[in-house]
Amino acid sequence: MPYQILFVCLGNICRSPSAENIMNYLLEQRGLQGKITCDSAGTGGWHVGNPPDRRMAAAAQKKLNLTLKGSARQFQPSDLEDFDLILAMDGDNYRDILQLDPRGSYHHKVKLMCSYCRHHPDDDVPDPYYGGTDGFNYVIDLLMDACEGLLDQLRQDSVC
C-alpha cells in the first residue's frame, strides 16, 4: 500500500496542484513512483473541476519544463482518515483543516508545507492569486525546496 500525501491550499488551482506535480516529478526522477502517491485539494469549493490556473501552469512550464495536471476538488473530512500526511500551504489552510477534526484524532498527520524547506525562511507558501508573475515563480522555487526536503525526510523515515 503506497504512502499517501495530500497537498492542501485554498482554491486547489495554484499552490497545491503545483506541489502535487512537483512531488510526482521528483518521485519519478528518483524511481520512487508507486511507493508514494500524491493528491491535492482546496479548503474552498469555488474552483471545483477547474484545471490549474494558467499563470501557475506557465510558471511551472517555464521554470521546470513541467506540465501541471489535475482538476480542483474540495478537501473533505474523510481525507483526514484516508491520507497518511496532509500538507497545508499556509496557516489559514492549516487551521481550516484542523477545524474539521474537532477531536484532534488526525492532528498528527497535518503539517505546514514550509516546515520542510531547507533554503527558504518562509512559514507559508504565499497565495499568488491576486499578484503578478514573480509571485507564481516564487511559489515554484519554494515548493521545489519544500518537496526536496520532504522527500529526504521520507527517505530518512524509511517511508520510501
Binding mask 45-84 toward ligand 4NP (x if CB under 6 A, else -) reads -x--------------------------------------
- Can residue 12 be called a binding residue for ligand 4NP (CB under 6 A)? yes
| Nearest to 72, CA basis, from 31, 129, 33, 28 | 129
Give residues with Cβ within 8 angstroms of 109, minimum separation 6: 80, 83, 84, 85, 86
HSE at residue 63, side-chain half, CA atoms within 13 A, is: 21
From 7-15, 23-31, 80-88, 97-105, span contacting ligand 4NP (CB under 6 A): 7-15
- Look up 55 and say whether it is catalytic: no
* Residue 47 identity (one-letter amino acid): H
H/E run at residue 95: helix 91-99
- Can residue 85 be called a binding residue for ligand 4NP (CB under 6 A)? no
- Can residue 129 be called a binding residue for ligand 4NP (CB under 6 A)? yes
Binding mask 92-121 toward ligand 4NP (x if CB under 6 A, else -) reads ------------------------------
Give residues with Cβ within 8 angstroms of 71, minimum separation 6: 49, 50, 51
From 6-14, 76-84, 98-106, 151-159, span contacting ligand 4NP (CB under 6 A): 6-14
- In sequence order, the β-bridge partners of residue 6 are 39, 86
Contact between 68 and 50 under an 8 Å Cβ cutoff? The reply is no
Q: For the CB of residue 90, give the shortest distance to ligand 4NP in the complex, in Å.
A: 8
Q: Which of 5, 6, 7, 9 binds ligand 4NP (CB under 6 A)?
A: 9
- Look up 101 and say whether it is catalytic: no
Under the rule (CB under 6 A), what is the footprint of ligand 4NP? 9-15, 42, 46, 127, 129
